[in-house]
Structure 1
Amino acid sequence: MSRSSPALRPLIASSSRTPLKIAPTVIRSFASSSKCGIAVSSSASFVGVGLSRGEIRRKDVALGGGRQQRRTMFIQTETTPNEASLKFIPGVPVTNGGTHEFLDLRSALSSPLATRLLGIDGVTGIFFGPDFVTCSKDDSFNWSILKPEIFAILMEHFSSGASLFKEGHSADQAEDTKILDTDSEIVGMIKELLETRVRPAIQEDGGDIEYKGFEEDSGIVKLKLKGSCRGCSSSSVTLKNGIERMLMHYVPEVQSVEQVLDEEELIALEEFSKLEARLEKQKGKDGKPDMSQYLSH
């Protein structure tokens, strides 16, 4: 088997909660219950609701005996394995193939669209993909409340043709999996597999992965999960049953795949561990945690 162009085979994660399919061809299918499209025209005289696929369509509208060509936009939503994230598909290109994630207003200053979306009460994260926008929410908010405002902002932006980023910023192709002259043969194979087999499948679920390095001594590949994959309960299954198995199969030098966490995620996990330790220590005689001191405040 040639390392530079391995014969890849389909690999499907075993968990039913993780629809990750790492295959030569990724085919998107939509369940009727998960499809929702809102149509908007470039003219204020036409605003409608539809269930058609996300795409730009042209309609001829008669005005004063003449015919004027109008553009109608359908924005479709698609659920992800993460219940706190929803994928919005405007039917037009969003980036130039790269991906960008914004978790707070400070990081979103370069993108007017991300700034507006994060300004919605309850929205906690924005992720731009090649042809989609993934929005993540706080668990205390319902999508039925958030979706109308998100739809309105997305329709206004994409129908106006406004730029995704401010001047001086761009939505370039991802550089993390670009094979460099300084990369070893092993690293080159890992990057090729991530770019051609893993990334398309992950993006189908409204997320992405970022290559963070390979430790040759331990055989550990470090990856960062983004978009809907961030904080998803099935992310560990995706890493171990999907990505890790495939990389170990085609690159014997790979021993495991580990997730790289942001500083905020590490702090949250540390605080959660401390809380669990306190609850364990304060268990009552009946074997249940004593929550009185938390409920009294």
Structure 2
Amino acid sequence: MKIISTPLELKEQLKDEKRSIGFVPTMGALHEGHIALIKKAKEQNEFVVVSIFLNPTQFLKGEDLDKYPKKDEADKKICKLCGVDLLFFPQANDIYGSDEVSLLAPKVRGYVLEGESRPSHFNGVLTVVMKLLNIVSPKRAYFGKKDAQQLNLISLMVKQLFMNVEIVAVDTVREKDGLALSSRNVYLSASQRQEALKIPTSLRSATAMVMKGLLDSELIIANMREILYPLDISYVAIVNREFTQVDKVEIGNSIILVEASVGDTRLLDNIWL
């Protein structure tokens, strides 16, 4: 596995690459969810690139950038064991200059749900993903369904800016107890982890309601909020694949989403129906 730290060196390395490139962008602290992305990339491509870059522009003032888990050496070992061909490991001054061109999230979809409580967050996400895709020029790039709004906005960016890359969505990976894998799970104490299980429990209950033919969004959300109590809920929402909130679940075109905090740890989860 080759490790490269600068964009120009990476572009030079890949400029004559004839094999299909699969790309997995990450912020490090790799876990089984990231490994699932890498495995899918290896299945579908001949050459796999992973990036590890803790992107400062998607963190708002007062958020957990400084304490976000960093496991650089362990991450390198995981990538090597997974058969990654090339690891891109830049620093912030490799990616950003002093007078940056602005890339803005859409005015509606970028400022609802997670974007409502974290204004400008998705500006940072889309900016760094655009940069990384331009540096790597992959055939396919892989993102988890757990960050459903992020996935939707990246797919929208690629479509609207006519970018020549396929965005591949990969199913959420869960711990044995049902908690969605996240680098932030390490922040949870044992008791907080038990509280956090209310999040996947609420989604399972919502799915059971839908399977019984109860499709009314208001009823489903009310039931989920009861299960989630007393967590600090940012939102519980039911949207279609275009991220428009809907009054009734439409099987095959709906996502039920939750964002809630356990202590100081913000957790996202969802179910695609």
TM-score for both structures, normalised by structure 1: 0.23
- Between Structure 1 and Structure 2, which shows a larger proportion of strand residues? 1
TM-score for both structures, normalised by structure 2: 0.24
- The higher radius of gyration belongs to 1
